[in-house]
């Protein structure tokens, strides 16, 4: 076994133990975090005792009792009423409860959970710095960001870092964008009024809330994040060269911090992918995610133990030693597994399997204990009796790891008392039950994966790759299929059967011209299926069907009419037809002009108003 020394373990950081020895039966506790010396610290606040959340089993479907206990627990939780500082709405209690509500909505599709998540998103947005009267940040401006540091120190002196705003801000952006994404994936709620009113004038309906959130989170990127932290030559996240920033003494290169930046960029990209409204933004946000993923994967230090590939990695590029299993490694893993799940960033399944192996064969040092560092060592600290829940998605790359992590945390008590622990446990349990995650610990198993979202235009088609991912020596034959296809949409696979336990197939989704437009996701989403004697494995796809192109507006300007339209396939042509008699067959209409849809599927056309006869216009798209 390869041994790594640790150059970062010279100081034992206080507050990192979730509970003191002998206190496993403490009352309900809440997470809080603070930033000390540039490091995220995790601690607990004792809360009033009340019924905890229930995890009845690690296997089978998520039960009504499990979801009800989560819902009951969250009924006693509320977002912060005032300014919090110290990352509370980024990665502290409030931020993690917002994430937990989103995860459980994915499992249950219970609109009550999404409505409560909206309460959190509303409050987070309300706590953002006011650009007219708020705090002047390090760059000398009142930026649309969230305040991380209080204006004064505990002794009443002025806090020199009060103007700091960094990676934590895009963690908050990610929470709000996640809420918007879930609304977009729930069209049955779009025009419904959000319970509880509209206290911050973000829009009374669900879809209006989503639109506000996306607009405002893009504003954060345009005004601050893209301006100060993105190298436009290579899209890497880099620190501002401004002396005022340097004086803040903050890093942006630590991998956990890079992943917090990506939380905002990736989820905003996903929102715009669903909307199909800004290919330029999607490309820019995606380029940032790709740059960070490429850098992180290239920095990993692979080696072998127990006959399998595992990884060591460090806190930041060039920092040496081994990453610690505080919140640092959990953000590393949460970020990389989220990027992999999108299917858009060039991450192969084989590149993530060693993370699961590292947990199982290196970090798993004793029953219900993991090492303090990812290389299997703990000195001068101690082994840990829990693992942060951001690690749980590695169960997709090694089924055995789920029980290791879940049982450790159950024994320690966090899933009963901390929403994000419970929600991620149940989310992974559901993924295993529905076939998205593998379930065989040692015998051959497999999963199928494909990009999480696709957009198809009525009358057109879209292609994507479906990949067969073998585990534990799987070498079988898998037959591909699709379920939950919307009316008018068909799926084809080339090839339809993948042999020898590995390979890929081209998925083609074709929408008839009669296909109804809409977003089909969550329980209404398309499911890609892989069938073998081992079982049926699945991959969900959020499908946006764009209805046929249509003229949306006609304005008279002097002697001309100006027409605008939408829903075209970008780059495709359309013919504008005119007739004074709408009853004529299409062949009897007069072609006026050929137009090309722009990158957003829109077009503009101007035509003479004619001699006063009524004129009718229609589009003919190939």
User: How far lies 281's CA from each of 94, 463, 588, in Å?
Assistant: 28, 21, 42
Pairing of strands 550-557, 560-566: antiparallel
- Asked whether the predicted pLDDT for residue 579 surpasses 50, the reply is yes
Contacts of residue 118, defined as CB under 8 A and 6 or more positions apart, other chains included, come to: 179, 183, 194, 206, 209
DSSP string, 93-111: HHHHHHHHHHHHHHHH--H
What is residue 441's DSSP assignment? S
pLDDT of residue 616: 85
- The C-alpha atoms of residue 427 and residue 209 are separated, in whole angstroms, by 25
Mean pLDDT for 519-533 is 95
Q: How confident is the model at residue 16 (pLDDT cuts 50, 70, 90)?
A: very low
Phi then psi for residue 97, to 5 deg, are -70, -35
Mean pLDDT taken over the chain: 89
Any long-range contacts for 246-249 (C-beta under 8 Å, 24+ apart)? 247/138, 247/160, 248/138, 248/161, 248/163, 248/164, 249/38, 249/161
Extract the tokens encoding 477.
């034959």
pLDDT, tens digit, 9 for 90 and up, residues 528-572 = 999 999 999 999 999 999 888 888 887 887 888 888 888 776 777
Contacts of residue 138, defined as CB under 8 A and 6 or more positions apart, other chains included, come to: 163, 164, 165, 242, 244, 245, 247, 248
Lowest average pLDDT, out of 28-42, 190-204, 602-616, goes to 28-42
pLDDT of residue 169: 97
- The C-alpha atoms of residue 207 and residue 118 are separated, in whole angstroms, by 11
Q: Which residue has the tokens 């004697």?
A: 533
- Asked whether the predicted pLDDT for residue 503 surpasses 90, the reply is yes
pLDDT of residue 622: 60
pLDDT, tens digit, 9 for 90 and up, residues 254-307 = 999 999 999 999 999 999 999 988 999 999 999 999 999 999 999 999 999 999
Extract the tokens encoding 404.
């290791």
- Is residue 322 within 8 Å of 312, Cβ to Cβ? yes
Q: Which residue has the tokens 């009800």?
A: 68
- The C-alpha atoms of residue 458 and residue 516 are separated, in whole angstroms, by 8
Domains parsed from the chain with CATH numbers: 445-546 (2.60.40.10), 550-620 (2.60.40)
- Is residue 580 within 8 Å of 613, Cβ to Cβ? yes
Q: What is the 3 state secondary structure string of 557-606?
A: ECCEEEEEEECCCCCCEEEEEEECCCCCCHHHCEEEEEEECCCCCCEEEE
Q: What is the 3 state secondary structure string of 253-314?
A: CCHHHHHHHHHHHHHHHHHHHHHCCCHHHHHHHHHHHHHHHHHHHHHCEEEEECCEEEEECC
pLDDT of residue 612: 60
- The C-alpha atoms of residue 17 and residue 135 are separated, in whole angstroms, by 34
- The C-alpha atoms of residue 506 and residue 525 are separated, in whole angstroms, by 19
Contacts of residue 611, defined as CB under 8 A and 6 or more positions apart, other chains included, come to: none
- Is residue 603 within 8 Å of 552, Cβ to Cβ? no
The dihedral sign for the CA sequence 315, 318, 319, 320 = positive
User: How far lies 338's CA from each of 5, 143, 197, 507, 521, in Å?
Assistant: 30, 28, 32, 22, 17
């Amino acid at each position: 076994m390869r041994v790594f020394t640790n150059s970062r373990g010279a100081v034992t950081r206080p507050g990192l133990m979730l509970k003191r020895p002998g206190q496993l039966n403490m009352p309900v506790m809440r997470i809080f975090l603070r930033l000390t010396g540039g490091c995220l610290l995790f601690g607990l606040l004792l809360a009033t005792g009340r019924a905890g959340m229930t995890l009845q089993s690690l296997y089978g479907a998520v039960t009504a009792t499990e979801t009800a206990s989560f819902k009951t627990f969250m009924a006693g939780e509320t977002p912060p009423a005032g300014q919090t500082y110290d990352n509370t709405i980024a990665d502290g209690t409030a931020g993690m409860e917002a994430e937990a509500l989103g995860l459980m909505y994915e499992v249950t599709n219970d609109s009550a959970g999404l409505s409560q998540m909206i309460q959190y998103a509303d409050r987070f947005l309300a706590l953002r710095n006011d650009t007219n009267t708020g705090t002047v940040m390090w760059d000398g401006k009142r930026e649309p960001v969230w305040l991380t540091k209080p204006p004064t120190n505990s002794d009443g002196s002025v806090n020199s870092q009060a103007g700091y705003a960094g990676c934590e801000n895009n963690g908050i952006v990610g929470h709000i964008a996640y809420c918007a994404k879930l609304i977009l994936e729930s069209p049955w709620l779009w025009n419904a009024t959000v319970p509880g009113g509209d206290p911050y004038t973000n829009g009374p309906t669900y879809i209006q809330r989503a639109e506000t959130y996306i607009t405002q989170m893009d504003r954060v990127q345009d005004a601050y994040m893209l301006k100060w932290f993105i190298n436009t030559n290579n899209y890497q996240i880099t620190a501002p060269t401004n002396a005022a920033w340097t004086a803040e003494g903050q890093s942006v290169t630590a991998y956990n911090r890079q992943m917090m930046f990506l939380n905002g960029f990736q989820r905003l990209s996903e929102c715009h992918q669903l909307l199909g409204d800004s290919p330029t933004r999607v490309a820019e946000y995606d380029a940032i995610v790709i740059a960070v993923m490429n850098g992180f994967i290239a920095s990993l230090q692979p080696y072998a133990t127990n006959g399998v590939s595992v990884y060591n990695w460090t806190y930041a590029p060039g920092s040496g030693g081994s990453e610690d299993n505080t919140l640092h490694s959990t953000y590393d893993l949460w970020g990389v597994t989220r990027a992999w799940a999108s299917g858009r960033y060039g991450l192969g399944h084989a590149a993530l399997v060693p993370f699961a192996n590292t947990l199982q064969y290196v970090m798993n040092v004793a029953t219900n204990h993991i090492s303090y560092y990812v290389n299997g060592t703990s000195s001068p600290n101690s082994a840990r009796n829990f693992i942060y829940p951001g690690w749980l998605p590695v169960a997709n790359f090694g089924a055995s790891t789920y029980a290791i992590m879940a049982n450790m945390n159950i024994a320690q008590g966090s899933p009963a008392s901390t929403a994000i622990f419970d929600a991620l446990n149940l989310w992974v349990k559901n993924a295993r039950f529905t076939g998205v995650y593998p379930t065989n610990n040692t015998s051959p198993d497999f999963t199928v994966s494909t990009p999480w979202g696709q957009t198809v235009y009525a009358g057109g088609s879209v292609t994507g790759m479906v990949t067969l991912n073998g585990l534990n020596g799987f070498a079988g034959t898998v037959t591909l299929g699709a379920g939950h296809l919307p009316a008018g949409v068909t799926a084809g696979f080339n090839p339809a059967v993948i042999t020898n336990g590995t390979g890929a197939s081209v998925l083609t989704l074709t929408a008839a011209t009669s296909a109804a437009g809409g977003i089909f996701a969550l329980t209404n989403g398309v499911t890609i299926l892989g069938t073998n004697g081992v079982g049926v494995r699945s991959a969900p796809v959020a499908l946006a069907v764009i209805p046929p192109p249509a003229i949306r507006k006609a304005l008279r300007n002097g002697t001309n009419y100006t027409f605008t339209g939408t829903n075209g396939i970008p780059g495709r042509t359309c013919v504008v037809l005119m007739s004074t008699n709408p009853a004529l067959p299409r062949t009897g209409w007069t072609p006026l002009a050929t137009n090309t849809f722009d990158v957003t599927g829109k077009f503009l056309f101007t035509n003479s108003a004619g001699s006063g006869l009524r004129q009718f216009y229609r589009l003919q798209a190939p």
